[in-house]
């Protein structure tokens, strides 16, 4: 009886069947470590490498198709990397301008009830020609040229001179 108390407990040695399980756990931990490292490194890299600015092709874009706008309505379109505003006035004339408010760069919109361009940030107002008429905007909106070719409405930078 006394001899059985002094015996060392039997040590289990890994058998051939437990080794694949260990390898699986090690692979799982390694993958988790790599995923965690990537989750930290990727945002840092994205911060230091700015995204490429998308240039949509020179100084002219297709802002809409004929029929997209009802009279007395407006539509925001993308002009290069900035928003533009295309308006079909109540008398059926297309007008286009930058949609970036000249006060603090909020995006303006067309207000059919006012028949004006309106900036929601500080209640700035512009006329249909982009002229600043009330509120804090210090300058007019940049006006663009509009051309209807076929069923597409092209907007381009206004050429001075
Ligand atoms: S940003 Fe447009 S009125 Fe202030």
Let me know whether 80 and 148 are in one domain. Answer: yes
Distance of alpha carbon 106 from alpha carbon 153, whole angstroms: 25
Q: Is residue 110 part of a domain?
A: yes
Q: What percent of the chain has pLDDT above 70?
A: 84
In this structure, are 74 and 140 located in the same domain? Answer: yes
More confident residue, 98 or 9: 98
Are 122 and 103 a contacting pair, CB within 8 Å? yes
Q: Do both 39 and 65 map to the same domain? A: no
69 and 30 in a single domain? The answer is no
95 and 26, same structural domain? no
105 CA distance to ligand 1 middle (Å): 7
CA distance 156 to 23: 63
Phi, psi (degrees; rounded to nearest 5) at 46: -65, -30
**Average pLDDT across the chain, whole number:** 87
User: Could you tell me if 81 and 107 lie in one domain?
Assistant: yes
Give yes or no: residues 37 and 76 share one domain: no
Query: What pLDDT sits at residue 154?
Result: 95
Q: List the CATH number of the domain containing 119.
A: 2.102.10.10
Ligand 1 within 6 A of 109 CB? no
pTM: 0.66
Q: Express each pLDDT in 86-113 by its tens digit.
A: 999 999 999 999 999 999 999 999 999 9
Asked whether 122 lines ligand 1 (CB < 6 A), one says: yes
User: Does the beta carbon of 137 sit less than 6 angstroms from any atom of ligand 1?
Assistant: yes
Of 42, 81, 85, 36, residue with least CA distance to 64: 85
pLDDT score recorded for residue 16: 55
pLDDT tens for each residue of 32-77: 899 999 999 988 888 777 665 444 456 899 999 999 999 999 999 9
The domain of 47 spans 15-51
The number of folded domains in the chain is 2
- Atom number of ligand 1 nearest to Cα 123: 3
């Amino acid at each position: 009886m006394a001899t059985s108390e002094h015996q060392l407990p039997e040590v289990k040695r890994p058998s051939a069947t437990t080794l694949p399980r260990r390898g699986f756990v090690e692979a799982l931990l390694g993958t988790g470590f790599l995923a965690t490292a990537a989750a930290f490194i990727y945002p840092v890299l994205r911060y230091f490498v700015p995204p490429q600015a998308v240039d949509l092709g020179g100084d002219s874009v297709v802002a809409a198709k004929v029929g997209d706008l009802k009279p007395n309505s407006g539509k925001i379109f993308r002009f290069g990397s900035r928003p533009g505003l295309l308006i079909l006035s109540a008398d059926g004339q297309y007008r286009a301008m930058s949609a970036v408010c000249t006060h603090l760069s909020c995006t303006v919109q067309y207000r059919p009830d006012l028949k004006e361009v309106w900036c929601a940030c500080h209640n700035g107002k512009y006329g249909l020609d982009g002229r600043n008429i009330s509120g804090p905007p210090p300058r007019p909106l940049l006006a663009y040229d509009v051309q209807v070719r076929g069923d597409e409405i092209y907007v381009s930078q206004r050429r001075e001179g």
